[in-house]
Amino acid sequence: MSGRLLVVGSVNVDLFTHVERHPAPGETLLGTGGERSPGGKGANQAVAAALQGAPVSLVGAVGADADADVALTCLRLAGVDLAQVVALPTARTGLAVITVGADGENTIVVIPGANAEVGPEQVQAAVDDLTAADLLLLQGELRRDTTEAALRAAAARRIRTVFNVAPWSGVDGDVLTLADPLVVNEHEAALAARELRLGSEVTAGQPVDLARALLTAGMRSVVITLGGAGAVVAHPDAVTSHPSPRVSVADTTGAGDAFTGALAARLLRGDDLATATDHAVRVGAYAVQHAGPNRPTRALTPPSPDGTSP
């Protein structure tokens, strides 16, 4: 790889609970777990990309508390450059409370903490050091003004940006169109379509049609992730489907981050978007077969084409 991947994103500690089923509103259930492990979409994707062989630097923030050491553990082990991760003495490290059901599906509540202090100035300084060979990777867990500043700064320097707008952060349509690609699930794709003023018939359509419509509305390229069904890719030359191998699901937590980190690593390596997506789908399929903390490390070795461990 001739360049490096700059990830601007969140750094959290994940607190895991496990339940037979997810509670209804107002209901109390007994669960198990209580493990605390490294997390945050920015950190997860940085680790996943580094374990795929990409040279990765992370821009972010943690608090001056015990959780900071936990949050940075996997990043350090993966060799991610943390020179631009600041420790803030008056903030707490971000926290995500994750509840995993017996079927492997999860719900997540994120408390930003120090992540909310990552501002446009910190990001601008980092982007100013990038070259045309580098790649920028963003998610939706930082402040909206910070995310938009990063996208605009990268566009001004002709730096390609992968934007995984998860969770949806209400980014303006003109900023969305700076992504190449925009990486979204079906729900986020519909929200992006509304932001780009596409009609309800589009947002209610099939993923292939939605991806094509987003491209027509000004997106440079789009990847819509479909969970166990794989992904759809739209770019000026084609709209293609990329199925996932069928696997037994143990836990879906972090699978999207493993996918996006692997996608960015392959784009940095020089793969075209379709080829990079094929690989990322396999990594995501491998990730969901394993339960437990430290999920980004699942991307260390990608599975064989049928989704099994090599």
* CATH code of the domain occupying 5-12+39-90+115-300: 3.40.1190.20
| CB of 66 closer than 8 Å to CB of 38 | no
| CB of 210 closer than 8 Å to CB of 189 | yes
Average pLDDT, the chain: 90
DSSP 181-208: SEEEEHHHHHHHHHHTT--HHHHTS-HH
Which H helix or E strand runs over 99?
strand 94-100
Q: Which residues are catalytic?
A: 257
Q: What is the pLDDT of residue 253?
A: 76
Q: What is the pLDDT of residue 203?
A: 65
**Residue 32 φ then ψ, to 5°:** -130, 175
Q: Express as a percent the part of the chain with pLDDT over 70.
A: 92
| 34-46: burial string, b at 16+ Cβ within 10 Å, e else | eebbbbbbbbbbb
**Residue 298 φ then ψ, to 5°:** -65, -25
Q: What is the pLDDT of residues 67-85, one digit of tens each?
A: 999 999 999 999 999 999 9
pTM for this entry = 0.89
CA 203, CA 209: separation in Å to the nearest integer? 9
pLDDT at 292 over 80: no
Helix axes 186-195, 207-216, angle to 10 degrees: 30
**Domain boundaries of the chain, sorted by first residue:** 5-12+39-90+115-300
Tokens for 231, please give them: 């992904």
Mean pLDDT for the stretch of residues 284-295: 72
DSSP-assigned letter for residue 243? P
Q: What is the pLDDT of residue 307?
A: 45
Q: What is the pLDDT of residue 306?
A: 47
Q: What is the pLDDT of residue 50?
A: 94
Alpha helix stretches (DSSP H) within 37-136 = 41-51, 66-78, 120-127
pLDDT at 293 over 80: no
Q: What is the pLDDT of residues 228-287, one digit of tens each?
A: 899 999 999 999 999 988 888 887 778 899 999 999 999 999 999 999 999 999 999 888
Q: What is the pLDDT of residue 78?
A: 92
What distances in angstroms separate CA 24 from CA 21, 87, 98, 109, one per listed residue? 9, 38, 16, 15
Pairing outcome for strands 12-18 and 32-39: antiparallel
What distances in angstroms separate CA 283 from CA 18, 129, 249, one per listed residue? 24, 30, 13
Residue of higher predicted confidence among 35 and 164: 164
Q: Express as a percent the part of the chain with pLDDT over 90.
A: 73
What distances in angstroms separate CA 10 from CA 37, 45, 68, 242, 298, one per listed residue? 14, 10, 12, 28, 19
Give residue for tokens 């077969």: 289
What is the layout of strands, in order, in the sheet containing 56-63? 81-88, 56-63, 5-8, 135-139, 160-164, 182-185, 222-225, 231-235, 238-242
